[in-house]
Structure 1
Amino acid sequence: MTLRYGTTGPGVERLHNDLRRHGFGLTADGVFGPATETAVRAFQREQGLVIDGIAGRKTQSALQQGRDPKALRQADLVGAAETLEVDLAAVMAVNEVESLGVGFHLGGPRNATPVILFERHIMRRRLEHHGISPAPWEEKRPNLVNSRPGGYQGGPHEHGRLARAGEIHAEAAIESASWGLFQIMGFHWQHLGYSSARVWEEAMRASEGRQLEAFVRFIEADPAIHAALRRRDWRDFARRYNGPDFERNDYDTKLAAAYRRHARALEKAA
C-alpha cells in the first residue's frame, strides 16, 4: 500500500516504527503528517531513492530490507531533466503520474523480472513484419498470436507468455511487449536508438534507471511532446502521451498537481 501525506491507519503506524528503527524521532500515531513526510524524504535522500515524500513499495522495502540496486534513484531523474532540458520537478511529476511506480516485480535484485504486458495482436503484426505468416500460429496458439487484444495473465505470469512467444520468434516476442516503468512497446527499439531488440530487452532488465533512459529517448524522439513537457503544458503533454481519452483519468490535472508539489519541495530543499 502506498502511503502519503494525509494517509492514516495501521500501515502508517508500521511506517513510523520502521522510520524510528532508522533513527527518526517520530511518534507512531498512525497519521501521515508533515513530520512523517519530512522523515520519509530524509530517508529517501540517505538511500539515494527518488525524493518524493511518498512511501511506496520501494521506500517501504528499503526501510525493511535495504535499497534494491535496480530501484530508480533521484540522480537518475536529475540526469533525465538535464538531458531533456526541463525542470526537475516536471520529470518527477511525469515519473509519479505516468509510470507504474515500480518497474520490476518482487523477487530480489537477482530474481526480479521487469513489469511487462504481452500483446498478442502486436505479435501477429510483428510476425508479418518479419516475413512470417501468422495464420498457422493464430490457429495453434491464439493466446499468443491473434488479431484481437487479450489473453492477459497479468503480473509475472506475462513472462511465461513472452517466453512461449519467443519460441515462435524471439525478436517479435520482445517487440510485442510493453516494458518497465513507462510501459514502452518493444517495437520502438530501433526508433529509440537501440542496436537490436535483444539489447532493448537487456536494458529493460537491467534497472529502472535504464527504463527511465528509454523514456527519455521516447520523449526526445517526439518534438511535439518534448516541447509540451518543456513549457509544462500538461494538457497537451497528457493528450499526446496518453491519447485522446486522457481526460477520463485526469492525467493533465494530476500532472499539474504533482509538478506544483515537487516544485515547492525542491525550492524548500534548496
Structure 2
Amino acid sequence: MTNLQGLPSSISASVGTPGKARNVPADVECIQRLFNLITPTSGSHLVVDGKCGALLVQRISEYQSNCLNVSKPDAVIDPQGRTFNRLVADARKASPETQAAEPDRQPWLTEPACDGAVTLTDSDFQRAATALGNAVSVNIIKAFATVESGGRSGFGPAKMPVIAYEGHLFRKYTERKYDRSHPLLSYPYVEKAGPQWRANNKNQTTAWATLVAAYRLDPAAALMSTSWGMFQIMGFNFAACGYTTVFDFVTAMKTNAGCQLKAFVGFCSKNPALVKAIKNKDYVGMAARYNGADYGDYDKRIQTAFEALERKK
C-alpha cells in the first residue's frame, strides 16, 4: 500500500472506542492524520496528538455511519479492516490543498482568560438582588446559582467557564445543515438532557471538546447553542444580557464570576415576568421563564435550594 504523506501503510492494532480498541499512540496519530487529509480546509480538523479522545471516536462513528452505511457503528478501526481501507482510499483521493491543511486549534475559544475571580461574595449577590428590585431575595439568586452550577463557581479546574452544549439548538441555528455529517453535534430535540446531550456533556472536558468541534463548523451557532457559567445562560441570550455579539458575551463569561452575575442580572431585567416570579417566589413561573416550557422539576429544585439557604440564616 502506498504511503500517504509519510504515513505508515498500516496500523498495528485497533483504534477507536476506549475499552474496545488498543489505541497505540502511533496508530492513533495515523488515523488522525488520515481523517485530516479527507476533511475540507473549512472543516473540523483533529489535533494530531496520538490520544484517542471523544472527537476522534465521534469522527470514526460518523464516518462508519455516513460513508460505510453501518447502521450501528462501533467506532473502531481494525488493521486492514473495511473502515481502514476505505479511509486510506478516500485519503488518496484528497486534493493536495486539502492534504496540506493544518488543524485549526481555535486559540481564542480555548485559551483561558479568567482574571482569577472565580467566586462571588455575599456583597456581590446583594448588589444583584438590589439591582433587580427591593423585593428580590438574595437567596433566590443564590438558589439559581446552586441549581445551575453548584453555587460555588461558574468555572472549572482549568479556569474555563462551566458549559453545556445543546445540539438541538445548533441544529436550529445551522438550519439542519450538519444533521447527516455530524449527528452528535446536530440533532432534533427529543427530551430534556437526552442521550446525545448526556454523551456531549458527561464532563467538562467532553463538553468543551464538543463545543470546539461545533465551533469549527459554525462559530456563532456553536456559541449560541451553549450555556455558560454560574447561571448557565444560553449564548443566544447575549443581547438580553447586554452584549452586542455572542463573541463579546463569551469573552465576558470567560473573564470572571462577576461578569457571569452581571449577565444574569441583565437577562432577568429584560424579562419582567421572570423578575415578578422571583419577587413573588413563584417557583413554577421562575422555572418556566428561566428554563423553558420543558422545565421538568426545575421549580422544585429552585424551591429546595432556596429553602436550604434560608435555613442557614
TM-score, scaled to structure 1? 0.61
Q: Deviations over 1:122-159 (max 9, x none)?
A: 1111113xxxxx33x22222222223461414222211
CA contact (8 A) 2:144 2:231 kept: no
Paired residue for 1:114? 161
- What displacement does 1:255 show? 4.4
| Paired residue type of 2:233 | I
- 1:83 lines up with 2:131 in the alignment: yes
Q: CA deviation at 1:198?
A: 0.4
Determine if the alignment matches structure 1 residue 141 to structure 2 residue 190.
no
Contact 2:147–2:305 under 8 Å retained in 1: yes
SS in 2 for 1:250: helix
1:104 pairs with 2:155: yes
Alignment partners' CA distance in 1, 2:271 and 2:255: 25
Aligned twin of 1:152? 200
Structure-2 change in CA distance of 1:88 and 1:213 (3 Å): same
User: RMSD of aligned C-alpha atoms?
Assistant: 2.5
Change (3 A) 1:256 1:71: closer
Shift of 1:239: 4.7
Alignment of 1:125-204 (within 5 A): 125-128=172-175, 134-135=176-177, 137-148=178-189, 150=196, 151-154=199-202, 155-204=204-253
Q: What residue is the counterpart of 1:73 in the other structure?
A: 121
Mapped contact 1:115–1:179 kept (Cα < 8 A): yes
Residue type at the aligned position of 1:159: W
1:186 shift after superposition: 0.6
AA paired with 2:277?
A
Distance 2:287 2:183 in 1: 34
Q: Give percent identity, aligned residues only.
A: 31
**1:257 corresponds to which residue?**
307
Q: Which secondary structure does the structure 2 equivalent of 1:139 belong to?
A: coil
1:147–1:81 CA distance, 2 compared to 1 (3 A)? same
Match of 1:117, SS?
strand
Which SS does the other structure have where 2:231 is aligned?
Answer: coil
Q: Which has the higher helix share?
A: 1
Who wins on radius of gyration, i.e. which is larger? 2
Task: Report the Cα offset of residue 83 of structure 1.
Answer: 0.6
How far apart in 2 are the matches of 1:119 and 1:245? 15
- Cα distance in 2 for residues equivalent to 1:248 and 1:193: 25
Distance across 1 between alignment mates of 2:117 and 2:307:
29
Secondary structure of the residue that 2:227 maps to in structure 1?
A: strand
Instruction: State the alpha-carbon separation in 2 of the partners of residues 153 and 251 from structure 1.
Output: 20
1:211 counterpart letter in structure 2: Q
* 1:72–1:207 CA contact under 8 A, matched in 2: no
Query: Do residues 224 (structure 1) and 273 (structure 2) align?
Result: yes
Contact 1:239 1:246 in 2 (8 A): no
Q: What amino acid is aligned across from residue 200 of structure 1 in structure 2? A: F
Aligned residue number for residue 92 of structure 1 = 142
Q: Partner of 2:129: helix, strand, or coil? A: helix
Question: Which ranges of structure 2 fall in alignment gaps of 5 or more residues?
Answer: 1-115
Does structure 1 residue 208 correspond to structure 2 residue 208?
Answer: no
Offset at residue 175 of structure 1 (A): 0.4
Q: Which stretches in structure 1 are left out of the alignment for 5+ residues?
A: 1-67, 129-133, 266-270
Distance across 1 between alignment mates of 2:296 and 2:215: 33
Structure 1 window deviating more from structure 2 (138-147 vs 202-211): it is: 138-147
- What displacement does 1:199 show? 0.5
Q: Post-superposition shift, 1:71? A: 1.7
